[in-house]
Amino acid sequence: MRPDLRASASLFAVLLFLSLPALLPVAATAAPASGRRAVIVVLEDGAGDPGDVAAQHGRAYGLEVGPVYRSVFGGYAASVPTARLDALRADASVLMVAPDEPVSIAKRIRRLSTQVLPTGVNRINADSTANRGYGVDVAVLDTGIDSDHPDLAPNLAGGVNCSSGTTFEDGNGHGTHVAGTIAARANRFGVVGVAPLANLWAVRVLNNAGSGSTSSVVCGIDFVDSLSPAHGGPITVANMSLGGSGSDDGACGTSNGDPMHAAICAATADGVTFVVAAGNDGVNLAGSVPAAYDEVVTVTALADSDGRSCGLGSPTGYGVDDTFASFSNTGSGADLDHVVAAPGVGIYSTYKNAGYASLSGTSMATPHVAGAAALYIAGHPGAGASEVLASLRTTGELPGVDMNGECSGGASHTDAPGQHPEPVVRAEAF
């Protein structure tokens, strides 16, 4: 039996991590009717088929049942009458009842018309390697992916909709942007991604307004885990350019009642490497999840304007070329063991309606690392999360050094405040 989580059931609101000045209020998902609560129910081991138990609980407690979870853990999301909440918690088959919190997004967009090699892909030297990520499957937990985009359609393997509507199509743009940085096809037009022969899975956990719920995100992780290597599936990398407030209890969510953490731990153990955004508040990432989880690869953002090292490009709106973006969260202590950096300012990539756009944020830095992870796994089949993380860090570019003598004695990138000792990912080693 798993440890009792009933006493602590606090979850978190999730934001897609674009640049801080871009965060504006948006409409949240519709609240349950008055007198009802939206919750996530985690069942005890051996409780029975989650769908059957959810149906039984629906009849017994007046629930309106939503997504059912079968892979990362047995459970379901539901709307429950407030008056029956305590009875549901006390049910012998229930391990935990946690609030299903809203998630949201807002963004700043700068559209570009020229077709260029994206500066981020160039900066991490992904274009200089013969490894193109062939055969590696990457899940994008986001607002969906534009399946008609010519740079993405050839690589789109499938997906799931855990949000509103009936498809995983992206009506927002954020998920399509992330997907392009990971694996936009090398097809002589548009843009090219870090791993242009990797397969993409659209895991839509937010709606067209960028809003959703914790239950929809757990639904997405559950889908990823169902297609993990341990379950005979192909997905080995998952990109999560989203996050919210919370902390790592050091026990995969069993101490502080965090089903998101429990889900990620389960999928990681099943062979999936999760790459997540550090956040855009310019604070310590220890207070942000999933960035604080030890099981993930957490990504901070570098400001780069010219796609090259050495700090010779023009200043960006978030810092001097080849320094860390002013909005990027920071790591400290043990958290630094799972943190890496990548370009996250003015990143040009695919966008909804077969378009292209430039965005900034740790959301944009994260897919560079997810793509690099795919390159590593392509060359090292069967590599797990800890091996992938170790390689990303040991082959990365440390601050204040001239990597490979490329800067004639100057630094490839600098960190004058000393807040970002983590390496910047370099893909040429893969």
Per-residue pLDDT of the chain (430 residues; tens, 9 = 90+): 333 332 222 333 345 666 433 322 222 334 455 689 999 999 999 999 999 999 999 999 999 999 999 999 999 999 999 999 999 999 999 998 988 876 655 344 444 344 468 999 999 999 988 999 999 999 999 999 999 999 999 999 999 999 988 999 999 999 999 999 999 999 888 999 999 999 999 999 988 988 778 899 999 999 999 999 999 999 999 999 998 889 999 999 999 989 999 999 999 999 999 999 999 999 999 999 999 999 999 999 999 999 999 999 999 999 999 999 999 999 999 999 999 999 999 999 999 999 999 999 999 999 999 999 999 999 999 999 999 999 999 999 999 999 999 999 999 999 999 999 999 999 998 9
**Residue 58's CB: how many other CB atoms inside 10 A?**
15
27: its two tokens: 């409409």
Beta bridge partners, 201, equal 139, 158
Q: What is the CA radius of gyration of the chain?
A: 21
Do 389 and 338 meet the contact criterion of CB atoms below 8 Å apart? yes
How far is residue 96's CA from residue 93's CA, in Å, rounded to a whole number?
9
CA-to-CA dists, residue 120 to 284, 300, 326, 377, angstroms: 24, 13, 17, 20
Do 117 and 127 meet the contact criterion of CB atoms below 8 Å apart? yes
**pLDDT value of position 16:** 64
For 356, half-sphere exposure in the C-beta direction (CA atoms, 13 angstrom radius) is 20
Do 312 and 412 meet the contact criterion of CB atoms below 8 Å apart? no
47: its two tokens: 């409780």
Do 250 and 334 meet the contact criterion of CB atoms below 8 Å apart? no
Q: Where are the beta strands (DSSP E) in 120-216?
A: 137-142, 156-161, 199-204, 212-213
Q: Catalytic residue numbers?
A: 142, 174, 363
pTM flag (> 0.85): yes
Who's near 323: CB < 8 A, 6+ residues apart?
Answer: 302, 303, 311, 413, 414, 415, 416
Who's near 424: CB < 8 A, 6+ residues apart?
Answer: 124, 302, 340, 341, 342, 396, 397, 412, 413
How far is residue 298's CA from residue 273's CA, in Å, rounded to a whole number?
11
Q: Quote the distance between the C-alpha of residue 300 and its chain's center.
A: 12
